[in-house]
Structure 1
Amino acid sequence: MTTTELSPTTVTSKDVDLGRIFTPRTIAVVGLKDGAGFAPYFEPTMHSDAEVFFVNPKYDTVFGQKTYPSLTAIGRPIDVVYCVTGAEVTTQVAEEAAGLDVGGLVLIAGGFAEMDQAGAARQERLLDAARRGGMGIVGPNGLGYVNVPQHISLTIASDHKRRPGGISVVSQSGALLSGIAMAAWERPSVGLNLLVSAGNEAVTDLADYIDYLADDPATTAIALVIEKVRRPKEFFAAVRRAMVKGKPVAALKLARSARTQELAASHTGSLTGDAWVYDVAFKQAGIAIARDPEELVDRLAILEQLDQKYWTEAANVAIITFTGGFASISMDIATDEGVNVPPLDDFRDWVSTNLPGVKVPNPLDATGLGTPIWPEIVDKYAGSDDVDALLFVHPLADEDEGIGVAVTETFIAQAEVVGKPFIVSNCATSLGTWAETLVSKNPGAATGRGPRSTMRGLQTLGDFVRSRAKVTADEQRSAVVPRPAVATVPQPEGSMLPFADTMKLLENAGIPVAPYALVGEDEEVGDVPFAGPYVVKLADVGHRTEHGAVVLNVSATDLADAVEKMRRIAAKDGLAPTVAVQPMVQAQGEAFLGIQNSELGPMVVFGLGGIFVEVLRRVGGRMAPLSTDDAYSLIAEFEDVKVMHGFRGRPAWNHVALAEILVNAGKLAAGATEWVGSLDINPMIVTDDGFLAVDALCIVKD
């Protein structure tokens, strides 16, 4: 039994005060003893402002303080219980705490739902205790948490160097917190607030933590390490709240390959999902995506340093250097990381006049000629309406202080004047101490750790500002689409909605469908209300080609024979006998449009249809419902293929009509999520007059 099979969590951040857990005034420590291997990691807590009580009936003292035989014996309200005992005793401690005034628990032990049936039963007991006591639980099967500024260390994780700051981290893989702490320490201007190991998330999960951090005044940015999102709806609602509050979210999704998925499941008991779905959903939600701990910190470093009033879309970044090599590599990396560096052609005359021999205004290689007019260069670029962020790349190590102070001071001074972010990056690795100190005094300036790290931070800054402008704290809602009250048709994939009901479903959703006529088992063909030639097929069969159950280019005189042929195939193969007749549609192209119920919720999948699906093996997706902007951005993903955007004299597809169809498909996906398992429209024909769904396969949930 895995954690995903347990009863859904019903104790949330709205039911409990997570502040009592993460900023406690009183702490009870259960099971710790002097000499324990991880006792030194708790030691900083003894120097915090919290009052600490030790519960251990086997010892008279721990850390020089008297012990208590139980939580009850303390006789005081306890904000958080930190328990380092085995699984069964841990469960008993939680059950005792449920009857006391306890804010929550931090549980380290394994042996719960990640193990076996007995462990799953213990985890249910934890959940029941949490419900009765109104408590949050961090863990079990985790490493605890650290509140860096308040020196509270309820963790068995190594005491890596951590400086106080605004980035809070929640990780479903506790050990990765060490990598994040190390990466943050290597960036002198970056500090950490909360480091939380989520463990099994028996009670309190990612959604709860994000919801708490959205309101936490000490948190400026949120970093996540994710194996699986257990409650997608609540998770994305919490992310929206954080964004509205001005707190960017970045995520490192683990288990991206089959083998790492197996590894993840073996140590947490949590099944992991399709990484592509996570990428689609996170990008759409405005969550920055990282691939390793260092990139996770890179994504948030600039946002954590800058005062919010200096945040811009970073849509037009000016790069200024003193050497061609730094200019060249910065431009290459900017292209890789999706940061726009406009050519600033209007600057060409000014640059050539003032810097003879320099031809490219952006990135600007000011060379040695630029030193005498450095203030003028900075003023020129800072004042441009075509620039909304500036980056200075230069050797700025400790050894460069003598020549670096003046140029750096001149550069960052303009930040407060023009209200734009000014980023100072060493040519590689972190800046020297003098430069970090200098930049930190200016709220509109931030440091970067080499061009790659810096570009990632700029890209995240711009993407967050754009995403935040579009997001609202409330979820988009779609009207409920009722399930048709008809019998389904068994298929290998599951229960199929009949052809006619599927086409009506699409039509009612605002997705254009091709004309069709149905001929029942005992019906005459009669007059068809549209001109031929025709397509004749068995209507309620999912995979017609396997049965030869479709005939093309049927003339009016041959229509009856074609219908009879379909009936013979149905009788021979035991298939539903209803026949569908449709006109042959002249196509400019074909698109694929699908609806899937992913583990993160309903999703619209889109791409080129016909042979392109198999040849390119490429589709795009958006979580439902979609906004019009989502639809256009999805279409834009295929611009490089050119088929949709016009090529070799062929006209571009009608993107306005296509975007409307995608939005309508999103409304259908969201409105029918309770009963639609999947719905594939392939092909959706592109005609001179627009788009037509000529066929669709809808699998419904049993």
Structure 2
Amino acid sequence: MATLEYDKRRALVTPDRLRHLFGARRLAVVGASGTSSWARNLVRSLNAAGGLKELVFVHPKYPELFGQATAPNLRDLEDPVDLAFLMVGPSRVDEILEDAAAAGIRNAVVLAAGYGETGQDGRARQLALAEHARRLDVTVMGPNTVGFINATAGIAPWAVVTERPPLKGAVSAVFESGSMARAAHEFAQGHGVGASLWASVGNSAVLTSLDVLEYLLEDESTRAIALFLESVGEPDRLLALGRRALERDKPIVAFKAGRTEAGQRSAMAHTGAVATDDAVVDAVFRQAGIVRAESLEELVSTAGLFGHYPERPKGRRMGVVTSSGGGCNIIADLAAVNGLDLPEWTGDTVEALAEHLPPFASILNPLDTTGFGHARARPRPTKAEDDLMEIAVKDGGIDFMFTMMTPLPSSRPEDPTFIESRLEILGQIVRDAPVPVYLASNTCLDLADYPRGLLTAAGLHLMPGADLALKSMGHLMRWVDLRASVLADDPPARVTADRGSGPAPTGTWAEDEGRDLLAAHGVPMVPAALVTDRRDAARLVTEWGGPVAMKICSREIAHKSDIGGVVLGVDSPPAAEAAFDRVVAAAATHAPRAAVRGVLVSPMRAGGLEMLVGVTRDPTFGPVLAVGLGGVWVEVFKDVSLRVLPVSPRTVREMLLELKAAPLLRGVRGMAPVDLDALTEAIMAVSRAALALGDRLETLEVNPLRVDGAAVEGLDALVVTGARS
């Protein structure tokens, strides 16, 4: 992404500057023509939103556009407008920005493509545009953007088709794709998800998604934020803004395009094979307290849930009342998949429900109201699911209520008394309920204007279909847990690299060098000695009184076992001398140019659990810590937890307990439980060693790290560094 560094553009993207940009009520459109679909869409959007005070067209060739006189140049305007919307090609953008600055206009939206998305030349052109804007003190949105909709203010400089006036609401969204911004906005409109701000930042030459995010954290109209990201820049800033959002109780839901394993790290390290780009993004979002959605629809549905329901459930226990037995089955399956619990109703609730159901009814959770319930006469204009939900919602064993509503009429019936009275009563039931109540439609069909108006008037929000609704509920509960976890921990302090003064290896370190680095930072390592004589190896077997491992030691030999450079279980002096000769010969045969430092001898260890602790440098996020089962198991199961460094001990413990192998750490089938404090401290020490390498770090890995009760020891180490920058 060809974007100016934050320090260079900071003054252009402060929340105060963006408040003026997104609140612009006087607009100049530069370079439009009467035949341009972009221009027609823009005019239609502005008119539909209804909040613009002044619209001026600027064009040197056309004296009139869209029924009004034009100005030949921005400099010819009597008073500066709040925003210039540039509909010119890239060759004229710089010139128009100069006109804007000369006319006192400080905000511009640039529609033109042909910049960073076109390759190296385009990226250079985009950076030049950003520098030009900085010198002119003009905040630029784009290029390659379709604009934004500020539904709260009734302002919509939005150059794509809009079918209706924008719905006002508490959800704001930031998109790094114009077409996806349009599609998601249409989906939101179709399902009653009202918005405050909907913005497409385009190529982000000056204004980025994180700049808009920071602005939205101060926006009183925004209760929840949706992000569509094509890349994740400024990870430190994202983590800081994520924490601030949690502190302000403004949930962030993100969709990250481009799930891929193309970002695998160094092939010589297990850590790199599991710390793919997408897995690291997951870790960053988790650390920032951001919920990750898997589709556009899920993004909108989840943000809509957060935006329309400010009250959070206190737990995962869900009560369900619906009018369909099949719906009960679907909901039960979706609840299990999304980590939601379905407790049995309490005895009092069962007794109260039984009074309104036939003897053959099964009073379960989820509750099917049965056809009998629909056939009964009611003293008020409600349906069976409304009345039974009103009873069940008082159950003391649930944290929230969910109901899948029967379809609402798509248009106003001849006699609207029943449906309009029913929705009014349902709204009151929801408001009076002791726990949050969430409603969903059966399927993900657009809401027509009539039922949407009824729901809005009753203060109700209908989530789009059971599948999206329950996924959104699962995200809600994950966010509640994330928020508690992140805010319970102080942000970890950044660690300054130990630059040192002496020479240090570049490339793969010999194992003894890596062991020395780890030991210096407090990592417990199994004892080891580097020997250059077969007799010294024999002596160590006698001194240590048990079998030893013997490994060739060379910077040029990373995979020692692949060439026969490792011998295990050496239990006598003669065997030690033979093993010495064997590994040295293997190195001479398979790596004749390798500079052999000697043979590393260390005592064998039996029992315990083998863990992997590794750190690799991600090109975007920097050092990434991976923790999981070690040895060959990391390749088989890939049961690994990731976080971006630095981390706190609390986070490390959280990483350990989220592993699928966590029961092994707690002790199963006679195994002693692992001392999590000792293991956590060892992992923290590995992290310190990695961070001490600074920007030279490529890979640092302890695999295996043996854990046996309170005993923690590294058995093998790999360190790879690059040149000092």
Q: TM-score, normalised by structure 1?
A: 0.86
Alignment equivalent of 1:597, drawn from 617, 641, 648: 617
Partners of 1:116 and 1:97 in 2: how far apart? Answer: 28
Q: How far did 1:166 drift? A: 2.4
Moved more, 404-413 or 207-216: 404-413
- Alignment match, 1:174: 178
Alignment equivalent of 1:693, drawn from 702, 714, 717: 714
Partners of 1:519 and 1:483 in 2: how far apart? Answer: 29
The residue identity in structure 1 corresponding to 2:331 is S
Q: How far did 1:85 drift? A: 0.7
Q: How far did 1:278 drift? A: 1.7
Alignment equivalent of 2:405, drawn from 358, 378, 394: 394
- Alignment match, 1:422: 437
Summarize the alignment of residues 314-329 of structure 1 with structure 2, pairs less than 5 Å apart: 314-329=315-330
1:348/1:671 Cα in 2 relative to 1: closer, same or farther (>3 Å)?
farther
CA contact (8 A) 1:27 1:80 kept: yes
1:186/1:57 Cα in 2 relative to 1: closer, same or farther (>3 Å)?
same
Determine if the alignment matches structure 1 residue 514 to structure 2 residue 529: no
1:581 is paired with a residue whose SS is: strand
- Alignment match, 2:559: 543
- Alignment match, 2:627: 606
1:428/1:404 Cα in 2 relative to 1: closer, same or farther (>3 Å)?
farther
% same residue: 27
1:153 is paired with a residue whose SS is: coil
Partners of 2:578 and 2:261 in 1: how far apart? Answer: 50
CA contact (8 A) 2:613 2:625 kept: yes
Q: How far did 1:299 drift? A: 0.9
The residue identity in structure 1 corresponding to 2:596 is A
- Alignment match, 2:28: 28
Moved more, 56-65 or 175-184: 56-65
Alignment equivalent of 1:206, drawn from 204, 209, 213: 209
1:408/1:153 Cα in 2 relative to 1: closer, same or farther (>3 Å)?
closer
Partners of 1:652 and 1:411 in 2: how far apart? Answer: 52
Moved more, 127-136 or 582-591: 127-136
Alignment equivalent of 1:235, drawn from 231, 235, 238: 238
Partners of 2:145 and 2:263 in 1: how far apart? Answer: 19
1:640/1:688 Cα in 2 relative to 1: closer, same or farther (>3 Å)?
closer
Moved more, 343-352 or 605-614: 343-352
1:94/1:588 Cα in 2 relative to 1: closer, same or farther (>3 Å)?
same
Q: How far did 1:696 drift? A: 1.7
Partners of 2:599 and 2:290 in 1: how far apart? Answer: 48
- Alignment match, 1:333: 334
Determine if the alignment matches structure 1 residue 71 to structure 2 residue 74: yes
1:692 is paired with a residue whose SS is: strand
- Alignment match, 1:19: 19
Partners of 1:58 and 1:449 in 2: how far apart? Answer: 48
Q: How far did 1:184 drift? A: 0.8
- Alignment match, 1:457: 472
CA contact (8 A) 2:240 2:288 kept: no
1:97/1:9 Cα in 2 relative to 1: closer, same or farther (>3 Å)?
farther
Summarize the alignment of residues 484-563 of structure 1 with structure 2, pairs less than 5 Å apart: 487-489=503-505, 495-519=507-531, 530-540=544-554, 541-555=557-571, 557-558=573-574, 559-560=576-577, 562-563=579-580
Q: How far did 1:448 drift? A: 2.2
Q: How far did 1:101 drift? A: 3.1
Deviation readout 1:304-334 (Å, 9 max, x if unpaired): 112x3x2224522111224432222111111
Q: How far did 1:640 drift? A: 6.8
Alignment equivalent of 1:676, drawn from 681, 697, 700: 697
Partners of 1:470 and 1:103 in 2: how far apart? Answer: 41
1:244/1:8 Cα in 2 relative to 1: closer, same or farther (>3 Å)?
closer
Partners of 1:448 and 1:464 in 2: how far apart? Answer: 18
Partners of 1:653 and 1:347 in 2: how far apart? Answer: 44
Instruction: Output the aligned Cα RMSD.
Output: 3.6
- Alignment match, 2:169: 165
Where in structure 1 are there 5+ consecutive unaligned residues? 262-272
Deviation readout 1:26-46 (Å, 9 max, x if unpaired): 323221122322221121436
2:82 is paired with a residue whose SS is: strand
Deviation readout 1:213-233 (Å, 9 max, x if unpaired): 111222222111111112222
- Alignment match, 1:622: 643
Summarize the alignment of residues 338-487 of structure 1 with structure 2, pairs less than 5 Å apart: 338-344=339-345, 350=351, 354=355, 356-359=359-362, 361-367=364-370, 378=389, 381-398=392-409, 412-429=427-444, 439-440=455-456, 446-472=461-487, 475-483=491-499, 487=503
CA contact (8 A) 1:521 1:577 kept: no
Partners of 2:349 and 2:26 in 1: how far apart? Answer: 65
Q: How far did 1:697 drift? A: 1.1
1:123 is paired with a residue whose SS is: helix
Q: TM-score, normalised by structure 2?
A: 0.83
Q: How far did 1:169 drift? A: 1.8
The residue identity in structure 2 corresponding to 1:38 is W
CA contact (8 A) 2:174 2:228 kept: yes
Q: How far did 1:587 drift? A: 2.8
- Alignment match, 1:3: 2
CA contact (8 A) 2:393 2:434 kept: no
Where in structure 2 are there 5+ consecutive unaligned residues? 265-275, 379-383
2:342 is paired with a residue whose SS is: coil
